[in-house]
């Protein structure tokens, strides 16, 4: 973790009559000459300032970046597209996430999650996880400078297509599996997997973003109890607060897989309470057009008992990778990004924001004045926030909430969508998914009932290696709201 030290380099004035320092005070002339040095009669005085002493990495701050567009907005701040206008990487385009300290420090959990996000972004390097270039702070704000993922959210493309073909879903799910497996190997659980948090690069590969709800140091056998996530993708053990581990990410991947292949998450209802009831004890219904391998994987991901869930055992991601649904995937090629993505964003330039919501991109980009003065004790929570990526150093020789996130609405196919009310959950009050309080889940959750046998259907198409030929995309469109 990088740290910033402010040193007072001004020296005290010497007493009158004290002789000036001379090299000969330390080394006699004879020893100087023996060392190949000559004594000099005059020594140049150099003022010790930041410019003359700190000749290493540049001093990074908001002044180094030009605001271009607004890409998103949340309860804690905004995300901008920016251009670097000073120092190294001049002209490079980034995404700048700006968080307000005053809103974060109100809750100790939010402060902890903010620090965890910054630490994870620094420590985790993976082809399918967003890269952090810089982190810095001002008196009232925190700044994360991230790589700009101009392909937009996977959510946008899923909304546009309605549903994905199985080979398309297979590609995205496989890349996400590698990303989750890497996080888990570092003792990190993600806990907020959903289409809105999966971005596409300009080449069409996925990148996980928004690590505000991650939990560190969850290794084999460890559990945590924080109630967080996005309802439609939350595992039942989070809802009943029985303690959860990395298996919750595989439930979320199963819900995401179901969403990709059918047009909505597997358990939805007219309000959040009923949605939670369905997740805890509802039947899983699978459409008949899914192939046997897809059906089998979805059912195994959505096992309510975490120990029986696909990926929930000691094998973690390795068990997922061995499932027949992924039998056409060459995992080494996929990790090296040698496999053609099913969709490559059509971008006119590095600054193209056509894949982002025009509700944001049409706004005037303004980083409002930083006029909040925090106490010294409050600012202690953000010590060590500053960071410069090693890749940036080499070339010179970056709103979450503790409360469950609200699911963004999406146009539907044929299945009902869960309207989400703007009500917030209090982290200090239990949520009642049924008229009475939930009993602790010492007994196993009710198993899923098997769906009717599917008609015979073909296996998912193989993922093709790079060939220069893109396959045509087909899918059922979603009616407008």
Catalytic residue annotation: 192
What gap in Å lies between CA 213 and CA 249, rounded to an integer? 12
392 token code pair: 């940036």
Angle between helices 247-262 and 292-301 (to 10 degrees): 140
Rounded to whole angstroms, what are the CA distances from 222 to 17, 59, 62, 178, 216? 68, 40, 40, 22, 11
What residues have CB less than 8 Å from 211, skipping those under 6 apart? 116, 117, 120, 121, 190
How, if at all, do strands 387-388 and 132-137 pair?
A: antiparallel
Binding-site residues for ATP sit at: 97
The span from the CA of 146 to the CA of 140, in Å, is 20
Q: Annotated binding site: which residue ranges?
A: 97
Q: What angle do CA 381, 382, 383 make, to 5 degrees?
A: 100
b/e burial code for range 432-452 (CB count within 10 A of at least 16 → b):
ebeeeebeebeeebeebeebe
Q: Which long-range contacts (CB under 8 A, 24 or more apart) does 359-364 make?
A: 360/69, 360/70, 360/71, 360/72, 360/73, 361/69, 361/70, 361/71, 363/70, 364/70
């Amino acid at each position: 973790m990088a740290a910033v030290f402010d040193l007072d380099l001004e020296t005290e004035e010497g007493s009158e009559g004290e002789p000036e320092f001379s090299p000969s005070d330390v080394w006699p002339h004879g020893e100087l000459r023996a060392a190949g040095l000559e004594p000099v009669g005059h020594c140049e005085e150099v003022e010790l300032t930041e410019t003359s002493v700190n000749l290493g990495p540049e001093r990074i701050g908001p002044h180094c970046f030009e605001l271009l567009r607004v890409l998103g907005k949340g309860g804690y701040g905004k995300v901008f597209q920016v251009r670097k206008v000073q120092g190294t990487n001049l002209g490079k385009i980034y995404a700048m996430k700006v968080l307000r300290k005053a809103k974060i420090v109100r809750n100790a959990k939010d402060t902890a999650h903010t620090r965890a996000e910054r630490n994870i972004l620094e420590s985790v390097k993976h082809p399918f996880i967003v890269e952090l270039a810089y982190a810095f702070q001002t008196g009232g704000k925190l700044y994360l400078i991230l790589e700009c993922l101009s392909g937009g959210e996977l959510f946008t493309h899923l909304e546009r297509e309605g549903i994905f073909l199985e080979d398309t879903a297979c590609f995205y799910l496989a890349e996400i599996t590698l990303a989750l497996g890497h996080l888990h190997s570092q003792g990190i659980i993600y806990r907020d997997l959903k289409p809105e948090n999966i971005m596409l690069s300009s080449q069409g590969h996925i990148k996980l973003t928004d690590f505000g709800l991650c939990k560190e140091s969850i290794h084999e056998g460890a559990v945590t109890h924080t109630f967080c996530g996005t309802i439609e993708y939350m595992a039942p053990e989070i809802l009943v607060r029985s303690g959860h581990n990395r298996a919750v990410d595989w439930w979320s991947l199963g819900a995401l897989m179901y969403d990709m292949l059918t047009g909505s998450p597997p358990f939805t209802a007219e309000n959040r309470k009923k949605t939670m009831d369905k997740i805890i004890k509802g039947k899983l219904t699978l459409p008949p057009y899914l192939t046997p391998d897809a059906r089998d994987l979805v059912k195994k991901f959505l096992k309510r008992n975490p120990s029986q869930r696909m990926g929930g055992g000691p094998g973690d991601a390795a068990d997922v990778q061995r499932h027949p649904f992924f039998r056409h995937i060459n995992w080494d090629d996929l990790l090296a990004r040698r496999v053609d993505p099913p969709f490559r964003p059509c971008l006119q330039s590095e600054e193209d924001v056509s894949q982002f919501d025009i509700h944001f991109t049409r706004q005037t980009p303004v980083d409002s004045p930083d006029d909040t003065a925090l106490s010294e004790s409050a600012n202690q929570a953000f010590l060590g926030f500053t960071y410069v990526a090693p890749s940036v150093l080499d070339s010179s020789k970056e709103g979450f909430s503790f409360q469950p996130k609200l699911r963004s609405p999406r146009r539907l196919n044929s299945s009902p969508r869960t309207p989400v009310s703007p009500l917030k959950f209090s982290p200090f009050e239990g949520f009642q998914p049924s008229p009475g309080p939930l009993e602790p889940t010492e007994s196993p959750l009710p198993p899923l009932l098997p769906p009717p046998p599917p008609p015979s259907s073909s296996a998912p198409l193989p993922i093709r290696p790079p060939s220069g030929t893109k396959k045509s995309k087909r899918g059922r469109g979603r009616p407008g709201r």
